[in-house]
């Protein structure tokens, strides 16, 4: 009897150890994960069965991705399982406990079953299954027995990529769709137009891409210091997507459960637009000193279309009509942010329009413009999205709001309280154009640090909202603005791994989130997967942050070191040599002689340096 108890204890212990090993590998973290006894082993005879309804779409994805994960080209069949063991079954069910896009994953010794009520759930369940397959272990294709129940917290789990300020080619977009869909992000928002470029072909207005997609090269000059282009300069920087490109992107995304959301930014951020068609500018303003060239960098005066010209609305209706026909998404984003009113205030046309319509100020003039664009969008049977500035003036009922501002403005409260469906895009937690480590160690970017742990800590639903108001929060989205990402490599560096943190914020319930677990998941599995897929991700989570104060009276520096990563040790030197795990271990604030060169790094228990070495002179700048 004692032997039986001991044997059972060993089995239970082995299951517990296995559970601890694997729980930390799933991103985003599922609702519930229970590990069971026994493993499923892939081999060349493993078969896959997919419902006929989803076969055409799922088969090529499953085939290619499983070949990558296991090395096997497995037989994929339609319909119900026709063998008794060694198979994977995708099963369509009507289980009320499974939400849209949710799934159940059951792994046993003889079979794997993914249950879902829709295509999206099957796709998402398969992505979780992929994460359970060991990576970089040749010949090892066993998956521990498990039962997973999982449903998304939010229906909107988004990523915005600004392709206007720095154009990224179609193949790069497809690559990112592959990555983000594997983490259950389901909205890919393309910021297609801005002052620095128009990136989508509009057949009725070819000048939008003939001129608006190209700007003069100022690549060797800081973004905010660039001079405007002249009419005679050659314009070599840019690019655009043809409508065929867009169709390919949309279809590629569709079968990966990703919806492409287009954004055309008006009435501000429209320098490329008015450069292409100057008649969109207020015609009664003296334009002798107005530059009608695509902006080369951050400064872009005279970048608004005229709200008092009927041609503006006729033109934009044509553009919106083409875009609406091209994109199957029910959403169309029209921007509406950061609109300068300087030129409108010079226009007698605008003044007359305001008087005629009883508009008390220029915020209400913007509302007038936005409301008219909203009617154009509705005419195309689309739901208009706008940045939260569209709430100003008289608002625009029927729109969906992306709430990005914080502080003096409180759109995260105002929008849902006023009945607007709201997507949280807080610049404090979600603008990953901000650097992700100590500023002096990171590539050029805004002078704000947004580390991985802060993205992960985001709570999209403000505690101040009532339950009814909170129900209007559609979800969460991270945004990469592209002022400082001129290359594909830099773009990926800013995207990852912070997009993975945002994916878990968007999918997982707060009670299953845990920073230390997420950190370990990246280290155990996901960095390896990003390496395999040639993703240039950042390891800034391993950075050491220095802070110090210099006491000039005694020529002393008081030094404080910190890191966001849990479970490792900081070692440092003051003699100019690179630190190792045999150097001085940081245990708390210390005082040393001023003007010394501090070098510090984060090390694991095996003595391996995990990130870049922090290097700083302890002196008053």
Query: Which positions are annotated as active-site residues?
Result: 194, 269, 338
**Token pair in block for residue 554:** 């005694």
Q: What is the DSSP letter of 578?
A: P
Pairing of strands 103-107, 111-116: antiparallel
Angle in degrees, CA 498, 504, 509, rounded to 5 = 150
3-state DSSP call for residue 547? strand
Distance (Å, whole) CA 165 – CA 341: 22
Distance (Å, whole) CA 103 – CA 616: 50
**Tally of CB atoms within 10 A around 61:** 17
CA 311 from chain center: how many Å?
36
Under 8 Å between Cβ of 482 and 196: no
Helix and strand totals (H; E) in the chain = 18, 26
Which helix (H) or strand (E) covers residue 456, if one does? helix 452-456
Residue 139 burial (CB < 10 Å; 0-12/13-18/19+)? Answer: exposed
Length of the chain: 621
**Tally of CB atoms within 10 A around 531:** 13
Give me Rg for the CA atoms of the chain: 27
Under 8 Å between Cβ of 423 and 158: yes
Which of 3-6's residues contact partners 24+ apart within 8 Å by CB, and which partners? Answer: none
**Token pair in block for residue 101:** 């896009």
**Token pair in block for residue 544:** 């050491």
**Tally of CB atoms within 10 A around 481:** 22
3-state DSSP call for residue 382? coil
3-state DSSP call for residue 185? coil
Q: What is the DSSP letter of 431?
A: B
């Amino acid at each position: 009897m004692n032997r039986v108890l001991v044997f059972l204890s060993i089995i239970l212990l082995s299951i517990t150890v296995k559970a601890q090993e694997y729980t930390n590998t799933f991103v985003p973290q599922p609702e519930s994960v229970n590990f069971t006894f026994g493993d499923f082993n892939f081999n060349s005879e493993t078969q896959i069965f997919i419902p006929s309804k989803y076969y055409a779409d799922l088969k090529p994805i499953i085939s290619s991705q499983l070949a990558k994960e296991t090395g096997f080209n497995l037989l994929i069949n339609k319909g119900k399982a026709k063998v008794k063991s060694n198979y994977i079954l995708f099963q369509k069910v009507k289980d009320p406990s499974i939400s849209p896009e949710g799934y159940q994953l059951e792994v046993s010794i003889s079979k794997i079953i993914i249950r879902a009520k829709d295509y999206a759930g099957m796709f998402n369940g398969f992505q979780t299954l992929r994460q359970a397959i060991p990576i970089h272990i040749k010949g090892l294709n066993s998956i521990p027995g498990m039962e997973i129940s999982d449903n998304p917290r939010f229906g909107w789990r988004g990523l915005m990529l600004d392709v206007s300020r720095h154009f990224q080619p179609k193949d790069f977009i497809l690559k990112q769709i592959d990555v983000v869909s594997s983490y259950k992000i389901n909205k890919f928002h393309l910021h297609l137009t801005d002052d620095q470029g128009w990136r989508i072909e509009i057949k009725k207005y070819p000048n939008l891409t003939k001129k608006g997609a190209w700007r003069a090269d100022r690549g060797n000059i800081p973004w905010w210091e660039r001079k405007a282009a002249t009419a005679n300069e050659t314009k070599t920087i840019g690019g655009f997507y043809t409508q065929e490109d867009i169709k390919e992107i949309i279809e590629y995304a569709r079968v990966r459960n990703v919806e492409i959301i287009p954004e055309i930014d008006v009435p501000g951020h429209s320098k490329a637009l008015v450069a292409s068609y100057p008649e969109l500018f207020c015609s009664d303003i003296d334009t002798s000193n107005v530059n009608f060239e695509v902006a080369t960098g951050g400064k872009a005066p005279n970048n608004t279309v005229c709200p008092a010209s009927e041609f503006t609305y006729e033109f934009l209706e044509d553009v919106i009509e083409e875009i609406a026909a091209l994109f199957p998404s029910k959403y169309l984003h029209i921007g509406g942010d950061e609109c300068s009113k300087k030129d409108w205030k010079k226009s007698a046309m605008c003044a007359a329009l305001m008087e005629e319509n009883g508009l008390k100020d220029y915020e209400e003039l913007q509302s007038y413009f936005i409301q008219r664009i909203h009617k154009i969008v509705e005419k195309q049977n689309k739901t208009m999205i706008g940045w939260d500035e569209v709430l100003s003036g008289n608002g625009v009922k029927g729109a969906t709001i992306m709430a990005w501002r914080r502080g003096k403005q409180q759109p995260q409260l105002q929008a849902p309280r006023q009945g607007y469906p709201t997507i949280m895009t807080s610049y404090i937690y979600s603008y990953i154009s901000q650097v992700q480590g100590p500023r002096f160690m990171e590539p050029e970017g805004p002078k704000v640090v947004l580390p991985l742990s802060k993205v992960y800590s985001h709570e999209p639903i403000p505690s101040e909202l009532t339950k009814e108001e909170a129900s209007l929060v559609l979800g969460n989205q991270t945004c990469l603005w592209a002022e400082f990402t001129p290359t594909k490599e830099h773009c990926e560096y800013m995207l990852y791994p912070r997009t993975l943190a945002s994916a878990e914020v968007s999918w997982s319930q707060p009670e299953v989130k845990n920073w230390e677990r997420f950190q370990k998941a990246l280290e155990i599995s996901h960095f390896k997967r990003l390496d395999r897929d040639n993703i240039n991700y950042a390891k800034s989570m391993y950075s050491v942050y220095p802070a110090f104060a210099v006491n000039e009276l005694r020529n002393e520096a008081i030094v404080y070191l910190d890191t966001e990563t849990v479970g490792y040790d900081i070692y440092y030197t003051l003699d100019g040599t690179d630190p190792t795990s045999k150097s001085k271990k940081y245990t708390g604030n210390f005082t040393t002689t001023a003007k010394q060169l501090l070098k510090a790094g984060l090390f694991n228990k095996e003595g391996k340096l995990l990130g870049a070495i922090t290097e700083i002179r302890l002196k008053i700048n």
